[in-house]
Amino acid sequence: MVSNATPLPQPAQAALTRFPIVFADGVNYSGPLGAAWAPGRVNLIGEHTDYNDGYVLPIAVDRVAAFAGRARNDGIIRLWSAQFQAMAQFSLEGLPTTFEQQREGLPGWARYVLGVVSELSGKGIPLSGFDAVIGGDVPLGGGMSSSAALEVATAYACALFSVDHFTIGAEGATLTPMQVAAVCQYAEQIASGVQCGILDQAASCLGQPEKAVLLDCRSLDYRYLPFHAPGLSLMVIDTGVRRELAASAYNERRKQCEEATSMLREIILQHEPNNDTAGAISALRDISQGQFERYGGELLAVLRKRAGYVIAEDARVLETVKLLEANAFEEIGALLWQTHAGLRDEYEVSSVELDALVEIARQVQGVLGARMMGGGFGGCTINLLRDSAVEPLRLAVEDQYPAQTGRQATIDICRAAGGPGFVRAR
Ligand code: GLA
């Protein structure tokens, strides 16, 4: 076996076992059986900052999307989704030109795979066809970026099945992990229509056990911070609400941030004609809190709220970095409550269900902080809490959430885990 030394996650093992059962029709394979996987993520702090060229602080979690399969002699890709119990098929021929047309015939989950394959083909990387079983234990649509995990796992599967033409690694490889993240970000955009930033895909590509990643979404520089918190847990609570209107609201927020940026640039230039750097303002990242306090009042109310949230959130991420280095988890918790308030009142991407979960958590002793996580309107909350508060929070959610919302929540404890991996029979 050849592997990059990560222990084999259970969904990869399960997919390897399923492969010969699902694909038993005697195709002539050109390579051995192999598996590739990539993790989902939580985001400690830094929400809706990625597409504003700001900072994020995600953690890859111990949940993965996994492929197990074999390279084919032709340009066909056949996929069996263990989660959806469904088959999908497309062709490498003509990609990326045939993307739109092939996308139409595919179920949602397979569109992400097609998106990645199409983006890789567009870069001129010669890919092999393959058959694969796809499995995973990232809750689907539950706010831990199951789609990013699937995209990144797709890229690693393509490298595994096209081993002579395509490698992922440090310098000298076809693509670095960060370049894979960018490919997968575009794949998500074309597959889903959401003009997402790079947070989810980068978090999946860069994961390391017991580490959070501080990513500068402008330069794409990153550094690891210890996320080793004895006696503390990270709990993800899924509202059970899927984000139907989220794509248009997300794209609208992104546009509002761009509008706020160009208006603030004009306002600052008017007030400070000798300010040499103002002309180069190209994202909310470039506006200081002081400038926002001075000039934010000149923006339309809605733009002022959006920009105010993003500028404060970037500052909270950098503050969290200092606090993490000092193991000051109580203070980090306080920032999480603040982020939730900003997402609810200024960015306006929360929901009744997300607010209910955060308020339930606030009443439980030993919860240091909680907030909605991800794009918003549904999905999940992230809760930083003492181990002793895990059971009390679970009970409080079971007791109060259905009564308040008419829904059931799902609770998960996550650990900071490694990034993508693969294993291949020689
Ligand atoms: C979604 C997007 C990310 C990011 C978050 C909000 O998860 O995919 O790029 O913008 O929302 O922080």
Which pLDDT tens digit goes with each residue over 306-351? 999 999 999 999 999 999 999 999 999 999 999 999 999 999 999 9
CA 47 to ligand 1 center in whole angstroms: 7
Token code pair at residue 235: 């709990």
* Phi-psi group of 141: left, alpha or beta (phi > 0 → left; psi -120 to 50 → alpha; rest → beta): left
Q: Say what the pLDDT of residue 346 is.
A: 98
Distance CA 135, CA 65 (A): 6
Q: Which atom of ligand 1 is nearest to the CA of 250?
A: 11
Q: Which atom of ligand 1 is nearest to the CA of 148?
A: 8
CA distances to 150, 340, 384, 410 from 364, in Å: 35, 17, 12, 17
The share of the chain scoring above pLDDT 90, in percent, equals 90
Give the predicted TM-score (pTM) of the model: 0.96
Q: What is the mean pLDDT of residues 169-177?
A: 93
Token code pair at residue 302: 């809605």
Q: Which atom of ligand 1 is nearest to the CA of 49?
A: 12
Q: Say what the pLDDT of residue 244 is.
A: 64
Quickly state the pLDDT bin for 164 (edges 50, 70, 90): confident
CA 143 to ligand 1 center in whole angstroms: 10
Query: For strand 55-71 and strand 130-136, is the pairing parallel, antiparallel, or unpaired?
Result: antiparallel
How large is the greatest C-alpha to C-alpha distance in the chain, in angstroms?
A: 73
Q: Say what the pLDDT of residue 7 is.
A: 82
Residues framing ligand 1 (Cβ under 6 A): 47-48, 50-51, 196-197, 199-200, 374-375
CA 73 to ligand 1 center in whole angstroms: 38
CA distances to 95, 258, 316 from 91, in Å: 8, 37, 45
Distance CA 418, CA 304 (A): 39
